[in-house]
Amino acid sequence: MSNLFVTIIQTNLHWEDKAANRQMLEEKIMSIKDKTEIVVLPEMFSTGFSMKPSKLAETMEGETVGWMRKMAIEKKIILTGSLIIEEAGNYFNRLIWMLPNGQHGHYDKRHLFGYAAEDNHYTAGTKRLIASVKGWKINLLVCYDLRFPVWARQQSQEEGPEYDVLIYVANWPERRSHAWKTLLQARAIENQSYVVGVNRTGTDGNDIYHSGDSMIVDPMGEVLYTKMDVEDIFTITLDKSHLHAIRERLPFLKDADGFMILKDSES
C-alpha cells in the first residue's frame, strides 16, 4: 500500500501577468525540499481568475504548458493547476495534469461560474479526468465544481470505489470561505476519499480578496491541514492504509444509489 506525497502551493497571483506568475511559481516549486510526487497550483495560476480569454489564452503548444512540462521533468513531479486555453475557437478553463515524462492529460472545468459571467467567455467541459498514480486514483476538478456533488460522486464499480483522492484547484473568494471549507469536508465524507483543495491568496484585479483556506481532509472529514491569509507551501503524506481501514470498517459506499451522468444533448 504505497503512500502518496502531495505538495500544495497557496500563493498570491500577479494579475493577468503570465510571465511574472511563471517566474514566481518556478521559484516556489524549485524551493521544495520535501519528498513529493504531485505539486498542486491554484486555478488560473498564470493569470488569476480573468474574463479576458481573447487577450490571455494560450494553446496547448504555448509557453505555459511548455513551462509546466519543463518543471515536471526537471523536478521529477506531476504538476497540476488550471490555465486559460484556446482550442478550435473556444476558450477553456483547463486543468493540466503534467507527468514527469512530459506527457499530460487535461480536464475542462464543467461548472462555469455564471455569477462572474464565466459562462459567457468559456466553454464547459463534458468529461471527468480520473488519473492513476502508484495505485491511487485521483479525480481532478476546478473551483465551482465543488458546489455540485453529483459531478464528484463516487459511482458504483465492481472493483471498488472509483477514486481515492479529490483535488480541487480554486480562486475562491474570502467572502464565501465558509462554503468552501464546509463543502470540502462534505465531499470527503460522502465519497470516503481524501480531498485536497488549493486556493489562492491576495486581492485580484477586480478587488476581490482571497483568504486561501487551502485544505487537506481525510476520508472521515477530519482536517489534516489548512492555512488562512498567508502564502504557504505544504507537503503531506496521504496514507493508503488509513483510507482502506476506513472503507472496510465503514462500508457506506456499497449502499449508495446507482446513477448515470448524461451528457448535454449538444455534446
3-state secondary structure of 75: helix
222 is catalytic: no
Contacts 24+ apart (CB under 8 A), 220-225: 220/188, 220/189, 220/246, 221/185, 221/186, 221/188, 221/189, 223/185, 225/8
Under a CB-based contact definition with an 8 Å cutoff, are residues 91 and 120 in contact?
A: no
Task: Determine the Cα–Cα distance for residues 98 and 69; give it in Å rounded to an integer.
Answer: 6
70 is catalytic: no
Under a CB-based contact definition with an 8 Å cutoff, are residues 108 and 123 in contact?
A: yes
Task: Determine the Cα–Cα distance for residues 142 and 260; give it in Å rounded to an integer.
Answer: 21
Per DSSP bridges, beta strands 136-142 and 90-98 are unpaired
109 is catalytic: yes
Options 16, 18, 58, 109, the catalytic residue: 109
Residue 211 grid coordinates: 483568504
DSSP 135: T
Q: Which residues are CB-contacts of 79 (< 8 A; sequence separation ≥ 6)? A: 29, 38, 39, 41, 68, 71, 72, 96, 98
Which amino acid appears at position 126 of this protein? T
Options 16, 18, 58, 143, the catalytic residue: 143
Under a CB-based contact definition with an 8 Å cutoff, are residues 205 and 50 in contact?
A: yes
- List, in sequence order, the alpha helices (H) in the chain: 18-30, 53-56, 63-75, 118-121, 149-152, 177-191, 240-249
User: Could you give the residue numbers annotated as active site?
Assistant: 43, 109, 143
